[in-house]
Structure 1
Amino acid sequence: MNAPHPRDLSIHDFSYPLPPDRIAPEPLPDRAASRLLVSRNGQLTDQRFRDLPNELPAGALLIFNDTRVVRARLLARRPTGGQVELFCLEPVAPHRSLEMALQQTGSCTWRCLVGNGRRWKEGPVLLEFETADGQPATLWAERQVQEAGTALIDFRWEPAELPFAEVLRAGGHLPLPPYLGRPDTATDALRYQTVYAVAEGAVAAPTAGLHFTPELLAELAQQGFSTGHITLHVGAGTFQPVKAGRMADHPMHTEPIIVTAALLRQLLSHRPQPVLAVGTTSLRTLESLYWLGVGLLKPATVAAGEVAGQPELLVTQWQPYDMAAAADNISAEVALEALLKHLEANGTDTLQASTRLLIAPGYRFRLIDGLITNFHQPESTLLLLVAALLGPGWRTVYYHALTHEYRFLSYGDSSLLLPGTAEVSANSTERC
C-alpha cells in the first residue's frame, strides 16, 4: 500500500500528550548541562549535551544558523493609556530587504501582528524609550491597512537619525514563544540568543543552538569536527499552529535565507562525509539549497508564478514533492555546483533566497545525515520534520523523553537524531 502524499497528511496523526509541567519555563544556568537524548539507528541513550563531541559521527560537519533575534515586540500606548502590542514580522517600505530595513532612519512600514488592538480605532500609538546612550526617544505607530491576521503599520521616530534596528534594540522586547506565558527578562536577553548569533533579523531563536557554549565549540574544533554557518531569519510562522484538516490546506510561511559561496564549497568538499544540521532551521536551509539548485537546472518544472517574477530565488512548499521525478538524476553535488555557477554569473559570493519548504513524511533528504534539535510541540510542522527524518520511530523517541523527565520546547533539553549513522567519534556510555 502506498504511503499518503504529504498533502494528504493530517496533523492530528502527529500528536502526543504534553503535560504543561514538562515545558521548560526558564533556561538552565549552564547551557551545556541540558540533557541529550541520542537516537542512533533507533537505539536510544541518555547523555548530557556537553557529551555531544563523543556522540557525533566521525568526520561530521555541523551547520549552525547564525541568525540573531531582534527585539520585535513593541508595547505602545493609545492616547487614552491602553496598551497595544505590535509584533514586527517583515518590512514593507521603503525596503523589503531585512538588512536594509533595519538600517532605515526616520520612518518605515512593517507588517505586524497587533495585540489588544480592538480599541485602537484611529490615530497613532506612542512608545517612549531611551537610546543606548541614555537620550530620550519617541516612536509613533499608525495602522494603515488591516489584513487577515496582520496589519501594515507606519512607524516614525525621533531622533530621526536612529536606524530602526536601534529603535527595536532600545525600545522593544524579545518575542518569547507565546507558550511561555511570561514577559521577557534580563536573563532572556542573554539566553534567548545563541553564543554565535551575529545576523540580526529573527523573531524567534534557533533553539537547538542555545545549548552550545564557547567551550563546547572549542572542544568540537579540538576533536577535529568541522563547522559552518548559514543564516535563516526565523519568522513568527514558527509559532503558527496547524489548523487545517489536511496539510494541503496549511500555508507555510516564507523565511529569508543567506548562504555564502564559501559554505557551498565547504559542503561540496566535505561530501560524502556526514553533514549534521544544528536545528530545524539549519536543516530546512540546507535542504532548500538542493531544491534551489534543481530549480536553476530544471526551471520549466517549477510552477509558473511561484518563482517567476520574484526578486529572489524561492523554494515553494511542495516543490520537492512535485519535482521528485525531475530531480531523480540530480545529485547534491550537481545542485550545489549549479548554485555556485549562478553566483558567479551574477558577480556575487552571497546567495540570498527564500524558502517555504515543508518537510513531512514522504520527504527524501538530500544534504543532511542527522539533526540536533529540541523537543517540539504536538501537531506542529517541526514535529512533521522529525517524523520525516525518523519515520514512525519518532513516537519511541518522544515517549522515552516524556517517561525519562526530559524538558520540552524552546528552553528544554535536546536530542541528537542519527537515523542511519553507526560510526561515532568516540565510545559513549549511557548516563544521565
Structure 2
Amino acid sequence: NIHIMDLSIEMPNEYDLEVGGTPAQVYNICGIVYYGVTNSSIQRCRFYKIPGYSIRIRGDVAEYANQNILIKGCKFITSTWGPIIEGQYTRNVLFTECYSEDQYVGISLWGCKDVVVSNNITYRNDNNKRFGLAGAAGIMPEQAPLENVAIIGNVLLDEEHGISTTANAGEYVRNLTIVGNIIRVEATDLTYGIGIDLGQIKDSVIAGNIITKPKKGLIIGSSSNCVIMGNILRETRTSDLGFQISGSYHTIKNNQLIDVGTGASYTIWINATKSLFEGNILYDSDGTHSWHGFYLTDSAHENILRNNYIYNHNVGINLLTGADYNKIYDNILEANGTAISNSGTGNIIKRNIGYATENNGIATFSGDGTTTTFTIAHGLVGTPTVYKVQPASADAAGDFYVTADSTNLTVTYKTAPPSGTDNIVLVWQTEV
C-alpha cells in the first residue's frame, strides 16, 4: 500500500562513474524502484533526465514479488531508459495515460505477466545518436516468460521502432495483444524504423493498428498461432518490406497495405507455412512503390491465399521455386504487370480474377458448307489440360474433334457443317 503522487524527480543525466576503473552501469540509477510491493501506485509524477530507469518495477525474485500496481498520468522526459516493468514475479500492472519523450525506450516490459499498457503517448524515442544505442522503441515487450500483456490504444510518434520484442533462443513471448495503436515511425537512420517488430511470439493478436512511414511495417519472426487483422500500413520509406511473415499457423486477414516501398519492394513477404492470408488489400496508387504484391519465398509451404485484392504491382503474386503446395484462389488481381508467377510445385491456383485458369462460354459461327475448322479463344493463362466442347445446335452436331494450345480451342469437323446464319453453336469449357 505505497502510493506516490505528484512528485517531480530531476537528475543531471550526465554521470561519469567508475567502479574499479570500469564505467558504472548507470541504468541502476533510477527515479523510483518498487521491489516487493503490492497494492500500490505511482500517479501524476514527473521524471526528467534520469540516468537509468525512471521507474523500475522489479520482480525477478519470488520473495520480492510485485502485484497490483498502477502507474498513471506520469511524464518521462529526456531520460536514458524510461520506465521498466520487469520480472516473472511482477503481475497485475496497469500502465496508463502517461507521456514519454526523448528516451531510449518509452516503456519497457521485461519477462513480466498480466500487464496492460493503454492510452499512453510516446514521442521521439529515437536515441541511437544521443546515447549510442541501437534499436530504440516506443514500447518494448520482451523476454520470456513475458505473457498476458495487452498494449492497447497508445499513440507512438516519431519513434525509431514503434513496438519491438525479442526473446532468447528457444523461448517465446506468449499471449501478447497489440490492438488499436497509432504508430508513426520517422527514424532518421533507416537502418532502423520498424512499425511493429515481433520476434519469437506465440498465441498473440495484432489488430486494428495504424502504421505510417516506417522502413518496414510489421515483422513476425519465428512464431506461431498469431492473428494479424485489420491493420493499416501506409507509405513505407525504403525498398523493403510491408509485412514480413515467418513461422506457422498464422491468420493474416483484412489488412490494408497502401503504397508500400520505393521500387524493388515486397508488400507482403511470406516465409511462413500453414498460414491463411485472406481479405487483404495490397494497393499501389501509381505503380512506383512495391515490385511484388505477395512474395512467397522458397520456405513458403501449404499456405492459403484467398479473397485478396492486389492492385498495380509489377508481379501480383510471386511464388519462388521452393514455394510449394500453396492454395491461391478467389483473388482479384488488377493492373499488375504479371498477375501470378508460379515457379513452385504442387501449388493450386484457381478462380482468380485477372489470372484465368478456368473459362467457359458459347461460341456461335455461320457455316458455309465448306469450312471444317472453327477456332475458339479460351482466354486462359496457358494451355488447358482439361477442355470440353459440346454441340448446342442441330447443324453443330456432326463428327468432330478438339485440340488446344495456349490461345485457342480448335474444333475440326470430318465433314463441313451446312450453310446457315449462326447455325453452328458450341458450348465449351476449359481449365488449366
TM-score normalised to structure 1 length: 0.23
Specify which structure has the higher proportion of helix.
1
* Structure of greater Rg: 2
Specify which structure has the higher proportion of strand.
2
TM-score normalised to structure 2 length: 0.23
